[in-house]
Amino acid sequence: MIMEKRFPRTSKQSRDMWLAAAREILTSSIEHYQLQGHFGPDKEELYTDVAYFGAAVPEKRKNLKKVLTIRSGTHGAEETAGCGIEIDMMDLMAKAQNRFFDPCAPSNDNLSEDAKAIIKFIQHQHILEHDYNGDIGIVMIRAVNPWGAAHITRDDHDFIDNNRCYLPHDPVTGKFYHQLLPLPLESYDKYPHLGGLLVPNSLDDATLDRRHTRLRKILNAEVRADLMRGQYDDPLKIIWGGDGISWSFRTTEKILDPIYANTALAYDNDLHSGLKRKDKPTGSVQMLLLAEEDGPIHQKIRRDLQECPMEDGGKAADIHSLFGTKSVSTWVEGSAEGWLRHKYANSGKTIVPCGIEMGPKDGVELIDLLDAKGLRTAARLLGDTHPKTAEIKQRLHDYFCPDDLEFERNAKADMRRIFRYQLYALAA
């Protein structure tokens, strides 16, 4: 009987568990990027961590042609859920590295078909062996936004929502070239009326309740649509994309640029837990594919899905192209996936950017995000120790990473399916 490992509950716990899982794999190579000058709630240092496996380890990187990259915590508060998935994948890899581990042994009957297939794939390709000479690599990045992960906010230490800031910029100053953006940023100043509501002038219960009621009233479809876009002129607004690239963007670039330098094919997965379809169970995954429908990447994915040996049937999660909708705007173009799409568009490489959303808790509205944003601002003004701040952060944490076995099981099952077909597609 294999014990079920639960997701981490705090960012400190997630880092400990993640590092332990990465070190469990004897051929891994682990690197750390410290966010200098900033600390967690217990004065702990903050890091983005990277684990490299297979041809992605330093001495073999020149061989790297095909790579699976997995990132967690672009939105800080969503880091523990994403990290739980990375740990699950590393646990399967550790099993694969044990040459005596047979996924088909009767004692391992409670492993899913997808888990068994991932283990078999890694064993058959010899990816984790010391003398591996192949060209496949796996890279996991933990806590792209370590400040947000530690302090349970979507945005970072500079107020930036990282999933809106991967935009074209001046390479020297790092400032955005707004005029070069592929789509007009039509929504900069569309909702100044929200600004005042976001930052409560007092944190007493009556003020917060009043504010909550007012926010709920104005949370119509138009405001919801605006919230998806991002703003670039005022850090106190709801989803501020910054006025230049963020620490997390620089760090992602530093990590991914050399990885993709010689790569011909990559699947990149940015793990989130902030979006859920109404009719789907908690934790179930949507793969938001940043590629034009009927374009070459989409066709490749469809082909891969058909060719991937899925003896237990089904498709890899719920895949839809963001370009099938009309709502494409800075929330797509400003995401890390949007950045990769543009960066490698005419490079001759196939980099497949996948935004992954594990559906969070049922019955929680976007209003909670607004509350959290306002209180985040208030917390900065009043200090993080205010009891109301802790209460709201706890609510936000329960939303993004519910302490719920069903959430974790569904998310793990869907992600194993996705990673399984991505790995088989790399080797096809």
x/- letters, 161..200, toward Zn ion (CB under 5 A) = ----------------------------------------
- Least distance from C-beta 246 to Zn ion, angstroms? 15
CA gap 375, 200 in Å, rounded: 7
Instruction: Kindly state the smallest distance separating residue 357's Cβ from Zn ion, in Å.
Output: 7
Q: Which residues contact 12 (CB under 8 A, 6 or more apart)?
A: 40, 42, 44, 150
List of residues 6+ apart from 105 with CB closer than 8 A: none
What is the nearest approach in angstroms of Zn ion to the Cβ of residue 196? Answer: 26
Cβ burial of 409 (10 Å; 0-12, 13-18, 19+) is middle
31 within 8 A of 50, measured Cβ to Cβ: yes
Opening angle at CA 259, ends 257 and 260, nearest 5: 70
Of 28 and 252, which has the nearer Cβ to Zn ion? 252
Total residues at interface with Zn ion (CB under 5 A): 4
Q: How far is CA 379 from the centre of its chain?
A: 25
Largest CA distance in the chain: 65
In whole angstroms, the minimum distance from the beta carbon of 157 to Zn ion comes to 17
Site string for Zn ion, 273-312 (x = CB under 5 A): -x--------------------------------------
Quote the least distance from Cβ 359 to Zn ion, whole Å.
12
Residues in the chain: 428
State in angstroms the smallest separation of the CB of 286 from Zn ion.
12
Q: Taking CB under 5 A as the criterion, which residues in 241-280 touch Zn ion?
A: 272, 274
Which amino acid, one-letter code, is at 197? L
CA distance 38 to 21: 26
Binding span for Zn ion by CB under 5 A among 75-83, 328-336, 362-370, 405-413: 75-83
Q: Are 319 and 418 in contact (CB under 8 A)?
A: no
Single-letter code of the amino acid located at 362:
D
Going by C-beta distance under 8 Å and a sequence separation of 6 or more, which residues neighbour residue 405?
4, 6
Distance CA 406, CA 329 (A): 33
Nearest approach in angstroms of CB 248 to Zn ion is 13
Query: Minimum Å distance from CB 77 to Zn ion?
Result: 8
Half-sphere exposure of 159 (CA within 13 A, CB side): 23
Half-sphere exposure of 299 (CA within 13 A, CB side): 3
Site for Zn ion in 118-157 (CB under 5 A): none
Compare residues 61 and 75 and give the one whose CB is closer to Zn ion: 75
Closest CA to 251 of 241, 259, 240, 262: 259
Partners of 141 in beta bridges: 50, 71
Binding mask 383-412 for Zn ion (x = CB under 5 A): ------------------------------
Taking CB under 5 A as the binding criterion, the range among 78-86, 196-204, 242-250, 375-383 that sits at the site for Zn ion is 78-86
Structure tokens at 58: 């330093």
By beta-carbon proximity to Zn ion, the closer residue of 22 and 144 is 144
Helix or strand (DSSP H, E) at 49 = strand 45-54
- Token pair 């205010």 is found at 386
The nearest distance, CB 78 to Zn ion, in angstroms, is 5
What is the nearest approach in angstroms of Zn ion to the Cβ of residue 96? 30
Residue among 225 and 305 whose Cβ is closer to Zn ion: 225
In the complex with Zn ion, which residue's Cβ is closer, 181 or 275? 275
CA 46/CA 39 separation, integer angstroms: 6
Tell me the C-alpha distance between 109 and 1, whole Å: 9
Q: Pick between residue 407 and residue 424 the one whose CB is nearest to Zn ion.
A: 407
Q: Which is nearer to Zn ion, 78 or 414 (CB)?
A: 78
Identified binder of Zn ion from the candidate list 15, 61, 75, 276, rule CB under 5 A: 75
The reply to whether 376 sits near Zn ion by the rule CB under 5 A is: no
Candidates 42-50, 70-78, 100-108, 301-309; binding stretch for Zn ion (CB under 5 A): 70-78
CB nearer to Zn ion: give 274 or 359: 274
Binding piece for Zn ion, criterion CB under 5 A, among 71-79, 122-130, 238-246, 299-307? 71-79
Instruction: Quickly tell me which residue has 């969070």 as its tokens.
Output: 360
Q: What would the two tokens of residue 353 be?
A: 């950017």
Q: Which is nearer to Zn ion, 53 or 147 (CB)?
A: 147
**418: number of Cβ within 10 Å:** 22
Nearer to Zn ion, 46 or 81 (CB): 81
Closest approach of Zn ion to the CB of residue 101, in Å? 34
CB closer to Zn ion, 272 vs 361: 272
Chain residues in the site for Zn ion (CB under 5 A): 75, 78, 272, 274
